Chain A
Amino acid sequence: MSSPKITPDLLDHLAHLARLGLTDQEKLQFLPQLSSILNYFDILQTVDTSTIPPSFQITSLQNITRPDAINSSLPQPSALSSAPKSQNGYFQVHNTIKK
Chain B
Amino acid sequence: MTPDLTTLTIPQIRKLLTDKQLTAVEIVNAYLQRIKNLDPNINAFITITEKEALSQAKSIDQKIQKNQPLGQLVGAVMAVKDIYLTKDIQTTAGSKVLKDYLPQYSSTVYQRLLDQDAILIGKTNTDCFAFGVSTENSGFFTTKNPWNTKMIPGGSSGGSAAAQAASLCTFALGTDTGGSIRQPASLCGITGIKPTYGRNSRYGITAMASSFDCPGTFGKNVADVAAVTQIMAGVDSHDATTNPTPVPDYLTELHSVSLKNLKIGLPKEYYTGAINPEVKKTVLAAAKIFEQKGAQIVDISLPSTSLSLAAYYILVPSEISANMARYDGIRFGQSKKDTTDLLSHYLQTRGEFMEPELKRRIIIGTFALSSGYYDAYYTKASQVRTLIKNEFVESFKKVDVIFAPVSPTTAWPIGQKVNDPLQMYLADIYTCPINVAGLPALALPCGFDSQNLPVGFQLIGNYFEESKLFSIGHQFQQLTDYHLQTPKI
B408 CB to closest chain A CB (Å) equals 16
Pair B332/A83 contact, Cβ less than 8 Å? yes
**Residues of B with C-beta under 8 A to A1:** 376
Q: How far is the CA of A40 from the CA of B268 in the complex (A)?
A: 22
Bound CA–CA A81/B342 (angstroms):
21
Contact-residue size bin, chain B (C-beta under 8 Å from the other chain): 35 or more
Chain B 313-332, CB-CB to A under 8 Å as 1, else 0, gives 11000000100010011111
A74→B105 contact, CB < 8 A: yes
Known: A14-B363, A30-B363, A34-B364. A49 touches B437 (CB 8 A): no
Q: Check: A59 CB closer than 8 A to any chain B CB.
A: yes
A41 touches B377 (CB 8 A): yes
- Interface residue from A22, A49, A84, A91 paired with B351 (Cβ < 8 Å): A22
**A14 interface neighbour in B328, B331, B366, Cβ under 8 Å:** B366
Tell me whether A54 and B386 are in contact (CB under 8 A): yes
Answer whether residue A70 sits at the interface, using C-beta atoms and an 8 A cutoff: no
Contact A37–B422 (Cβ < 8 Å): yes
Q: Does B385 contact A (CB under 8 A)?
A: yes
Chain B residue numbers with a CB within 8 Å of A84 are: 329-330, 335
Number of interface residues of A (CB under 8 A): 53
Q: Which of B47-55, B157-165, B303-311 contacts its partner?
A: B303-311
Main DSSP-derived SS at the A contact region: loop
User: Is the Cβ of B350 less than 8 Å from the Cβ of A41?
Assistant: no
Is A99 part of the contact surface with B, judged by Cβ < 8 Å?
no
B384 touches A44 (CB 8 A): yes
With beta carbons under 8 angstroms apart, the residue of A54, A55, A94 that contacts B342 is A94
B448 at the binding interface (Cβ < 8 Å)? no
When distances are taken between beta carbons in the complex, the residues of chain A under 8 Å from B381 are: 44
Docked-complex contact B339 and A94, CB < 8 angstroms:
yes
Residue of B311, B340, B366 most packed against chain A (CB within 10 A): B366
CA distance in complex: A74, B105 (Å) = 9
Produce 1/0 per residue, B343-371, CB < 8 A to A. 10111101110101001101110110010
8 Å CB contact of B104 from A29, A33, A82, A85: A82
What is the bound-complex CA distance between A85 and B367, given in angstroms? 32
Please name 29 pairs of A and B residues whose Cβ atoms are closer than 8 Å in the assembled complex, sorted by A.
A18-B325, A19-B328, A20-B351, A20-B354, A21-B351, A30-B363, A33-B420, A34-B363, A40-B313, A43-B307, A44-B307, A44-B311, A44-B384, A52-B387, A54-B379, A54-B386, A55-B382, A55-B386, A58-B211, A58-B436, A59-B197, A64-B241, A66-B237, A78-B104, A82-B331, A84-B329, A91-B331, A93-B330, A95-B341
Q: Please list the residues of chain B having a beta carbon within 8 angstroms of any beta carbon in chain A.
A: 101-102, 104-105, 197-198, 211, 237, 240-241, 243, 304, 306-307, 309-311, 313-314, 321, 325, 328-333, 335, 339-343, 345-348, 350-352, 354, 356, 359-360, 362-364, 366-367, 370, 376-377, 379-387, 389, 420-422, 425, 436-438
